[in-house]
Structure 1
Amino acid sequence: MKKISFIIASSLVAVVCLSLGLLTSCSSKPSNATPVNVLPRIFPDYAGTTIPVDIAPLDFSAVGRDAESMYVVVKGSKRGKMEASGDYADFDVDGWHRLTEANKGGKLVFSVYIKRGGEWKQYRDFTVNVSSDPLGEWGLTYRLIPPGYEVYGKMGLYQRNLSNFDEQAILVNTAVPGACLNCHTSNQTSPEQFTFHIRGANGGTLISQHGRVEILKAKNDSLKGSMVYPYWHPSGQWVAYSTNQTHQSFHAVRSERIEVFDQASDVLIYHPATHQIVLNPAVMTKDHYENYPVFSPDGRTLYFVSSTAWDIPAHYKDIKYNICRVGFDPKTGHTVGKIDTIFNARLMGKSANHPRPSYDGRFLLFTLSDYGCFPIWHKEADQWLLDLRTMSARPLTEINSENTDSWHNWSRNSHWIVFTSRRINGYYTQLYLAHVDSRGRIDKPFLLPQRNPWLYYDRQLNSYNTPDFTLRPVRLNARKAADGIRSEQRVATEIK
């Protein structure tokens, strides 16, 4: 029977013990444990990570089916202590937050005891840093989707409170059969302005602004495709979209599975107040594919990626994107000046995608892979960071793995990132968070905390996709949104 206790050192010492929700006696530290000078093998591996004070408890399990029981003591470097015992380390949420708050800017020291074959062993302590930089966000939004895109099976948009383990659906496609809910984006993590694209028979682009929801017609006759990958202008008056003709194919080799590519793509600027689309020749060229537009935090620059156009799919491995930028006029929605290539991945024989500037304007995070614009299926995909002051870029070796590391976003205070990775098993993308300091140094990332993480991730049959931070919970009337998507009513757009 699992038992949890919490002890906080102060003028008054309170001891609370829970066992399946019932008051019971507290377990005690094993008295006959054999010390071993190695770190415990735990899942997730939280040793040496840096966390915000407002993150959910770092529950973990012992690796190996022979682990019979676990006892854990967590001591704050400043003050406070917690204990947990049972099948896995399961910490009380409120007690955990009292402990992290008391040790902001300090460390948590974990002492782990594991029982195997009837014998207890005490492992070497490990530490977790508690950052003085707050998370500053309520939680995350993301898609949960089966790890294959053959058909639009059950998938949906979800949100998660990062201070605990509460998750809820924003919209699931079982309410809109056959639809793919794609690439949701808020305005600098604020859900007051929120948009996502819907693929399928009921295609369209949903825009929610301060509670008012509109569904735009999926295509405009003057465009090459639908309004797909969005990014809000910080003023909220514009949204940059890519318009894509996206296709997928399947590899015949075991090491490669799915390939997603565009046979055409451009960047356009949408004005929600007038339903007008501003076309800019600079980012809509015939001999290039422009994709993944994003605005700078001051709203004066438009970043995007660009590749020379090739015959697709015959030359799909020749599609290699550079990161570019151009000036932007927030009054007119027009680009200003000439295109500037700020990271030439093509010279490296590589392809750069998913540019995301930090909200303080200092850095730009992107994904580098061998080719194409959809690196989430590329094992070689890694995270890179471009310093926008020095224009120097480097691979983020401190967070990259031997498997796919791709889609990412920044917290509003620019001190935390979230990204997807297949490092656990190569098949499913999971979410990792990491702390970023003012000089662009990134601490060891940690897996999104879950209650009973071994059981959760073992039974999770969906991949996490397109994560972003959210300042507050997304308020979307799912029934009305689904009714609107299923209906034939759409808001038409016009070319300005």
Structure 2
Amino acid sequence: MKYLYPLLWLFVFLSCNDVLPDAEETEGEIEIFPDYKEVAVPCNIAPLNFKLKEPCEAIALFSGKDLQIRVDSDNGSFQIPEKKWRRLLDASAGGKLTVGIYIRKEDRWLRYPSFSIQVVEDKIDSYLVYRRIAPGYRMWNRMGIYQRCLEDFTEETFLDNKLTNNNCMNCHSFCMQNPDRMLFHQRALHAGTYLLKDGHIEKLATKTERTISALVYPAWHPSGRYVAFSTNDTKQDFHLSDANRVEVFDNRSDVVVYDVEKHEIITAPHLSSEENMETFPAFSPDGRRLYFCSAPACQMPESYREIRYNLQSIAFDPEKRSFGQKIDTLYNANKERRSAKFPRVSPDGRFLMYTVSDYGNFSIWHKDADLRLLDMLTCQTDSLLQVNSDDVESYHSWSSNSRWFVFNSRRGDGLYTRPYICYLDANGVPGKPFLLPQKETDYYERSLFSFNIPELIRGKIKVDTYKLIDISKYGEAVRLK
């Protein structure tokens, strides 16, 4: 009797009409897009639909523990039935799937060597939030912030700028992957920082007499009481002839902390000095330490290739709203001869991920930009060779269980940023990253938009969009002290 149920499942998945063709074994590998060969995926991920590089009549056979899915295609594009995929993942969690590819070439069938997919029992947070925008430099018309369910292909609009007079919106951020506590900025028309907390929406006017600019790059304190921000005097320039098309740099920058309850800005001399430029803050998961990047102030843009940012930290006392007196340097830019940015600590406090590039602090157009991983327990740094590519790797965020991270990369065409997902085991060993799955296998070829700021969250954002738009257009902003 114990063997009956697996046999019944096989019968459900593969009927009598699904007899595989007699095929000739071939040794060569077959190219697929996206490249899902030998990747590690969470057990709750959407189907990994893919296509062959060369269109043809083909069969894909997905085999897991006691279950198989056969997908037939007349053009080499495979869309896996979602319910069958879910059963296959559930049965294979903690193990592997194998994928066999059969293609018809003239009057004969060829079978290529199978590849495997590791199905990890650690789930990924169920939603990914990102901004979609054309990959331009100055001119844009359409953009929006969207939330995508990673367990299927459902994508919903959080806010589209066609509803807010085609203005700019950016820098969405969440408190400990909590969809009920977030913020984002709007620029130009309806300018302000919008803070959402358990359904309440607050519009903030964040420029003060003491700050360089309105608040820019955010990072929540785990308590939700504070948000660290940079304030930046940012400029953009272009190269006539360079692999990096664009340079974005700061003339000045500071780091401040915003008290959500008191609507007050607090800072310290180590974070807002004339001698240094501080930016990209991030709190530790226990809320007792603030990480940031800092470089000696210099004349810009003349020194844009010489400026390199250290990765540093300072103690923070949330009860007293005060900072320590000692600065710790985790990444010495002068010693390493590279520049650090985007520090993010894993929710379990074990790892700190950051980006490095040859110079500067805005590396999303720098082909030399790579991810690094600092083990906070052993103080060892991993260059993440299995994760990085020859093109840009930049922004990144963690899943709430610290086992997954998502990052932006321009690998593929060098122009569009795409979100890649990667597994990291408890010892800090990464898997092979994979491109965010889409229902249509030609989605990325047809899309004319880049994905910015991919943020993992534990559930769906629930917001009254029309109320948000009304506050955006007509609401009075709270001024910070």
Cα displacement (A) at 1:165:
0.7
1:320-339 superposed matches below 5 A: 320-339=308-327
SS at match of 2:444: helix
**Residue type at the aligned position of 2:111:** Q
SS at match of 1:283: coil
Closer, same or farther in 2 for the Cα pair 1:82/1:16, shift >3 Å? closer
2:444 to 457, 469, 472: 457
Deviations 1:99-152 (A, max 9, x none): 1111111100111112344543210011001112222x1110011111113134
User: Could you list the runs of 4 or more consecutive aligned residues of structure 1 that deviate by over 4 angstroms after TM superposition?
Assistant: 10-14
Other-structure match for 1:310: 298
SS at match of 1:489: coil
- Paired with 2:175 and 2:468, the residues of 1 have a C-alpha distance of 19
Contact 1:152 1:179 in 2 (8 A): no
1:76-475 superposed matches below 5 A: 76=64, 78-86=65-73, 87=75, 88-117=77-106, 119-135=108-124, 137-453=125-441, 455-475=442-462
- Paired with 2:467 and 2:107, the residues of 1 have a C-alpha distance of 57
SS at match of 2:203: strand
Stretch deviating more after TM superposition (280-289 or 377-386): 280-289
- Paired with 2:92 and 2:401, the residues of 1 have a C-alpha distance of 21
Closer, same or farther in 2 for the Cα pair 1:248/1:116, shift >3 Å? farther
Other-structure match for 1:60: 50
Contact 2:340 2:357 in 1 (8 A): yes
- Paired with 1:165 and 1:287, the residues of 2 have a C-alpha distance of 49
Cα displacement (A) at 1:284:
0.6
- Paired with 2:215 and 2:260, the residues of 1 have a C-alpha distance of 13
**Residue type at the aligned position of 1:425:** D
Cα displacement (A) at 1:29:
4.7
**Residue type at the aligned position of 1:54:** N
- Paired with 1:347 and 1:481, the residues of 2 have a C-alpha distance of 47
Contact 2:406 2:420 in 1 (8 A): yes
- Paired with 1:344 and 1:465, the residues of 2 have a C-alpha distance of 28
Stretch deviating more after TM superposition (459-468 or 37-46): 37-46
**Residue type at the aligned position of 1:111:** G
**Unpaired segments ≥5 residues, structure 2:** none
**Residue type at the aligned position of 1:168:** E
Contact 2:199 2:463 in 1 (8 A): yes
Contact 1:242 1:291 in 2 (8 A): yes
**Residue type at the aligned position of 2:32:** I
Closer, same or farther in 2 for the Cα pair 1:218/1:125, shift >3 Å? same
**Residue type at the aligned position of 1:485:** S
Cα displacement (A) at 1:237:
0.7
- Paired with 1:153 and 1:217, the residues of 2 have a C-alpha distance of 24
Contact 2:9 2:67 in 1 (8 A): no
**1:490 and 2:477 correspond:** yes
2:60 to 48, 66, 72: 72
Aligned residue pairs total 475
SS at match of 1:443: coil
CA-atom RMSD, angstroms?
Answer: 1.7
Other-structure match for 1:41: 31
Closer, same or farther in 2 for the Cα pair 1:52/1:315, shift >3 Å? same
Cα displacement (A) at 1:158:
0.7
Deviations 1:271-294 (A, max 9, x none): 111111112222111111111111
Closer, same or farther in 2 for the Cα pair 1:26/1:231, shift >3 Å? farther
- Paired with 1:379 and 1:474, the residues of 2 have a C-alpha distance of 33
Cα displacement (A) at 1:30:
4.8
- Paired with 1:346 and 1:183, the residues of 2 have a C-alpha distance of 29
Closer, same or farther in 2 for the Cα pair 1:354/1:267, shift >3 Å? same
Cα displacement (A) at 1:179:
2.0
Cα displacement (A) at 1:10:
4.7
SS at match of 2:445: helix
- Paired with 2:356 and 2:368, the residues of 1 have a C-alpha distance of 8
**Residue type at the aligned position of 2:294:** S
- Paired with 1:16 and 1:130, the residues of 2 have a C-alpha distance of 19
Cα displacement (A) at 1:391:
2.0
Other-structure match for 1:480: 467
Stretch deviating more after TM superposition (121-130 or 250-259): 250-259
SS at match of 2:411: coil
**Residue type at the aligned position of 1:234:** P
- Paired with 2:260 and 2:147, the residues of 1 have a C-alpha distance of 25
Deviations 1:65-89 (A, max 9, x none): xx2222011111x321111111311
**Unpaired segments ≥5 residues, structure 1:** 1-7, 18-24
Closer, same or farther in 2 for the Cα pair 1:219/1:344, shift >3 Å? same
**Residue type at the aligned position of 1:463:** S
- Paired with 2:16 and 2:313, the residues of 1 have a C-alpha distance of 60
**Residue type at the aligned position of 1:377:** W
**Residue type at the aligned position of 1:100:** L
Closer, same or farther in 2 for the Cα pair 1:307/1:178, shift >3 Å? farther
Stretch deviating more after TM superposition (116-125 or 265-274): 116-125
Cα displacement (A) at 1:426:
0.6
Contact 2:10 2:67 in 1 (8 A): no
Cα displacement (A) at 1:428:
0.5
Percent identity among equivalent residues?
39
Contact 1:351 1:372 in 2 (8 A): yes
Contact 1:189 1:412 in 2 (8 A): yes
**Residue type at the aligned position of 2:80:** F
- Paired with 2:348 and 2:475, the residues of 1 have a C-alpha distance of 41
SS at match of 2:421: strand
**Residue type at the aligned position of 2:49:** D
Contact 1:220 1:493 in 2 (8 A): yes
Deviations 1:253-311 (A, max 9, x none): 15221211111111111111111111222211111111111110111100011011111
Deviations 1:11-38 (A, max 9, x none): 4555369xxxxxxx98635524322112
Closer, same or farther in 2 for the Cα pair 1:119/1:479, shift >3 Å? farther
Deviations 1:311-357 (A, max 9, x none): 11121122211100000001132212311111112322211000000
Cα displacement (A) at 1:373:
1.2
**1:15 and 2:12 correspond:** yes
**Residue type at the aligned position of 2:68:** K
1:50 to 18, 30, 40: 40
**Residue type at the aligned position of 1:44:** P
**Residue type at the aligned position of 1:172:** D
**Residue type at the aligned position of 1:93:** E
- Paired with 1:431 and 1:147, the residues of 2 have a C-alpha distance of 14
Cα displacement (A) at 1:178:
4.3
Closer, same or farther in 2 for the Cα pair 1:12/1:202, shift >3 Å? closer
TM score, norm. by length of structure 2: 0.95
